[in-house]
Amino acid sequence: MKIIKYLVVSGLISVTLSNVALAEEKSGVFAGGHVGIVALGWSIYNNGTKNKDLSQHVATFNAGLQAGYQKFFSPMLGVRGYLSYDLSVNAKFSKVNNRFGFHNFALNADALVNFINSDSWTLGAFIGFGLAYGITVDSGNKFKNEKYNGFNIPINLGVATTFGSHKVEIGGKIQTLAAKFTRGNTKLATNPHTIYVGYSYIF
């Protein structure tokens, strides 16, 4: 009986230590970038009413950088915190005869879940949010030399796979709060939604 208890306890300790070691292998500082497509919305409100004749959504190219730290508490569950920068390249809004680009700087926190764990790779998902500040810059004629700034809250979600120190993810950033600029009775709001493919290296 003592032998059985010893074997059970030894097995539990071995599994626990193995899980801790595997979790530590996945934890660390990371840095990377991504490219994708962004649906960049430009909405104009007059006295609280949306001007549908001037409001418009267009698709344009997006690129970004991110760096931070991820911590796994077990082979399955972890969290990460990171800083990110996104650039949405100047998009042409024909209704206002203008081009707008969007810079977004964010502090993010995501929950990480791995569904598949093996010795060489993992497959999982992530969801979280960011606290961000966006800067909208125009290069057209109608609002020349004007900049539209504001805070926004992106929701981050997607799937990711890790091979050793290399991580590839397909994700999205959904804006829940648009960057805004108010001038008199007119309010202008920029609201980008992004789909991207990213790569990061875990040190």
Task: Provide the pLDDT for residue 19.
Answer: 43
User: Which residue is associated with the tokens 């649906």?
Assistant: 39
Walking along the chain (203 residues) 10 residues at a time, the average pLDDT comes out as: 51 42 70 94 77 77 96 94 92 66 93 92 96 80 60 95 95 88 75 94 95
- 66, 33 in Cβ contact below 8 A? yes
Task: Provide the pLDDT for residue 21.
Answer: 43
pLDDT digit string (tens) for 91-126?
666 666 667 778 999 999 999 999 999 888 999 999
According to DSSP, residue 16 is labeled H
Task: Provide the pLDDT for residue 130.
Answer: 97
Nearest to 117 by CA among 10, 19, 12: 19
pTM of the full predicted structure? Answer: 0.80
Task: Provide the pLDDT for residue 97.
Answer: 64
According to DSSP, residue 51 is labeled -
Q: Name the class of domain 29-202.
A: mainly beta
Task: Provide the pLDDT for residue 7.
Answer: 45
- 139, 147 in Cβ contact below 8 A? no
Q: Reduce the DSSP state of residue 18 to 3 states and report it.
A: helix
What are the backbone angles phi and psi of residue 5, rounded to the nearest 5°?
-60, -40
**CA 148 to each of CA 51, 97, 126, 151, 168: distance values in angstroms, whole numbers, following the listed order:** 18, 17, 31, 11, 33
Within a 13 Å sphere around the CA of 130, how many CA atoms are in the beta-carbon half? 25
Rounded Cα distance between 66 and 105, Å, is 10
Number of Cβ atoms within 10 Å of the Cβ of 96: 20
- 38, 88 in Cβ contact below 8 A? yes
pLDDT digit string (tens) for 141-159?
555 555 566 889 999 999 9
Task: Provide the pLDDT for residue 95.
Answer: 60
According to DSSP, residue 27 is labeled -
Task: Provide the pLDDT for residue 65.
Answer: 98
Structure tokens at 178: 């648009």
**Beta partners for 116?**
123
According to DSSP, residue 49 is labeled E
